[in-house]
């Protein structure tokens, strides 16, 4: 039976400092058994959403660690942004995916909330299925007044007393933790800049004002265009196509139309299939008619006949995977070689005195190997999002106004991943120095090879950071990232010189 699987989608009140986002992301990725599925940062909202999955215990640990890191790095007294928020780690929803019930996830949420309150001294509110009382099921009620309003009321209003933790707000603010079903964050843009029209349409579709059940909506202005920003909390009972068609009809009343729509984060495949079936009117459709479903049903022994080798993919005539993914792949190879040398050293009497050092090196190398392997896919996903943004229409000033911030956001993300790869390559280089210095002498050349690969990975990653930053119009984050990259490259250069000296002295190898 497959192991239980839980999804976590923490929202952080930061997007404009890439180094902070990278540290939070790294904190999550370091937890054994966690897979990061997606992350996106919105510079206007100054908000980052990360989606990761894993077994319950791993998700609980990763959630605590990222809340702690956000509390350390984000000061809510200095935060500004377009999205409602009350804390650094603003909201942390858990979603049961496989082999685990809602009630079991509620227990995780409660344990997590209590630990955050006791260890980090952060007020914690429980919402949705984990709510301690009915009025706290809705996130909007908990976030009423945002950080500033809650700060002035939390100590004097009994209704705002947190479920766990102190009745006072520090610089990390408060955190909302809960359990919900898969949610679709979905925005519809109109062919107008009149935000009042968006607000009227939002009232017509959201449940709280007489619209559809399981729809939360508000009308806002984004880059000069009216937007209906929505959360669809149960797409089975209120499908996405029904909401879109209602918005389309309501918009016609005001002489406007839908310009385009967008997803924030991930969407269940079933929700898109349902919409396609409805629009195309495939009355007798069954999921078995989908090609990918058929391919998934092929036995593993048959799939082996069609190997998906990374080198073959790299050589194919497709834009992804490309240089960024190759950098991550090369970095993972470097980490694997470091791990190999550490294992060849452990258990040898001759190297008993460095046993503890090699154990630490092995643990860190394996963590970096997994993170760098995962970065191959993350880099490809970031580039695909950039290409999608680049294809947005730009024939009119309105379309250009909408396209530019989307392209800016995608470009920023495309630079962030290789920067993280370069950082990890530098860490691998440091570990390579340790195995070259203290590891099994018979494998010293493998340690040197690891260093060479880590250096190559950092150079390739640096190329990808720089080429993406050239396209950023906001030069402030670009300068910050270039400064970080410069520091990484200096560290790698110094470490490489040390490694070459050790290879020459200890291994009698003269590079």
Domain ranges of the chain: 5-179, 184-290, 319-506
pLDDT value of position 267: 85
Structure tokens at 492: 């790698």
pLDDT at 307 over 60: no
Instruction: Look up 83 and say whether it is catalytic.
Output: yes
CA distances from 179 to 10, 94, 378, 407 (A): 12, 5, 26, 33
pLDDT at 1 over 70: no
Q: Which CATH architecture has domain 184-290?
A: 2-Layer Sandwich (3.30)
Instruction: Look up 284 and say whether it is catalytic.
Output: no
Q: Please, which residues have CB within 8 angstroms of residue 327's CB and are 6 or more apart in sequence? A: 379, 418, 421, 422, 425, 456, 457, 458, 460, 461, 464
Provide φ and ψ at 172, rounded to 5°.
-80, -10
pLDDT at 303 over 50: no
Catalytic annotation, pick one of 38, 83, 194, 207: 83
pTM of the model: 0.54
Segment 239-262 mean pLDDT? 96
Q: Please, which residues have CB within 8 angstroms of residue 139's CB and are 6 or more apart in sequence? A: 91, 127, 128, 176, 178
Mapped onto helix, strand or coil, the DSSP state of residue 380 is helix
Diameter of the chain measured on Cα atoms: 83
Catalytic annotation, pick one of 90, 163, 274, 379: 379
pLDDT at 242 over 90: yes
pLDDT at 69 over 70: yes
Query: 344-389 pLDDT, tens per residue?
Result: 998 888 888 988 898 899 989 999 999 999 888 888 888 888 888 8
> Residue 229: is the preceding peptide bond cis (ω within 30°)?
no
pLDDT at 227 over 50: yes
16 vs 175, residue with greater confidence: 175
Average pLDDT along the chain: 89
Least confident of 274-283, 301-310, 325-334: 301-310
pLDDT value of position 394: 76
Q: Which CATH architecture has domain 319-506?
A: Up-down Bundle (1.20)
Query: 95-129 pLDDT, tens per residue?
Result: 998 889 999 999 999 999 999 999 999 999 999 99
pLDDT at 306 over 50: no
CATH of domain 5-179: 3.30.990.10
- Asked if 219 contacts 201 with a C-beta cutoff of 8 angstroms, the reply is yes
Segment 223-252 mean pLDDT? 93
């Amino acid at each position: 039976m497959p192991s239980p699987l839980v999804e976590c989608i923490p929202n952080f009140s930061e997007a404009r400092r890439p180094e902070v986002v990278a540290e939070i992301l790294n904190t999550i990725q370091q937890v054994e058994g966690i897979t990061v599925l997606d992350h996106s940062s919105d510079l206007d909202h100054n908000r980052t959403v990360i989606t990761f999955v894993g077994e319950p215990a791993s998700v609980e640990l990763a959630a605590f660690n990222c809340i702690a890191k956000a509390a350390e790095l984000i000061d809510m007294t200095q935060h500004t942004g377009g999205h409602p928020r009350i804390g650094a780690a603003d909201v942390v929803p858990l979603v049961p995916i496989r082999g685990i019930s809602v009630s079991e996830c509620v227990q995780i949420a409660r344990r997590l909330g209590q630990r955050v309150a006791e260890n980090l001294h952060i007020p914690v509110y429980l919402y949705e299925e984990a709510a301690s009382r009915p009025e706290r099921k809705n996130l909007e009620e908990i976030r009423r007044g945002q950080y500033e309003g809650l700060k002035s009321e939390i100590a004097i209003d009994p209704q705002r007393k947190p479920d766990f933790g102190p009745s006072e707000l520090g610089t990390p603010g408060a955190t909302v933790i809960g359990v919900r079903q898969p949610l679709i964050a979905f925005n519809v843009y109109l062919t107008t800049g009149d935000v009042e029209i968006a607000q009227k349409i939002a009232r017509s579709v959201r449940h709280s004002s007489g619209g559809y059940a399981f729809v939360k909506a508000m009308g806002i202005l984004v880059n000069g265009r009216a937007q209906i920003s929505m959360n669809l909390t149960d797409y089975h009972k209120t499908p996405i196509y029904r909401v879109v068609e209602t918005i389309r009809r309501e918009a016609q009343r005001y002489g406007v139309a839908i310009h385009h729509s967008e997803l924030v984060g991930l969407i269940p495949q079933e929700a898109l299939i349902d919409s396609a079936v409805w629009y195309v009117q495939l009355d007798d459709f069954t999921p078995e008619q989908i090609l990918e479903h058929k391919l998934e049903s092929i036995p593993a022994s048959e799939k082996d006949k069609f190997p998906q080798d990374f080198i073959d993919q790299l050589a194919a005539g497709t834009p992804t995977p490309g240089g960024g993914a190759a950098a991550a792949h090369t970095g993972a190879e470097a980490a694997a070689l470091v791990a190999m040398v550490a294992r060849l050293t452990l258990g040898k009497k001759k190297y008993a005195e460095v046993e503890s050092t090699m154990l630490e090196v092995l643990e860190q190398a394996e963590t970096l190997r997994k993170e760098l392997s995962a970065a191959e896919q993350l880099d490809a996903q970031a580039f695909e999002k950039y290409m999608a943004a680049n294809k947005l229409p730009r024939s009119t000033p309105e379309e250009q106004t909408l396209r530019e911030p989307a392209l800016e956001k995608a470009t920023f993300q495309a630079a962030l991943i290789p920067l993280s790869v370069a950082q990890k390559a530098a860490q691998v280089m440091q570990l390579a120095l340790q195995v070259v210095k203290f590891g099994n002498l018979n494998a010293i050349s493998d340690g040197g090879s690891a260093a060479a690969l880590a250096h190559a990975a950092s150079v390739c990653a640096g190329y990808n950071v720089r080429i993406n930053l050239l396209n950023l119009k906001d030069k402030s984050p670009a300068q910050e990232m270039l400064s970080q990259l410069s520091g990484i490259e200096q560290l790698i250069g110094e470490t490489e010189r040390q490694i070459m000296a050790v290879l020459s002295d200890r291994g009698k190898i003269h590079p």
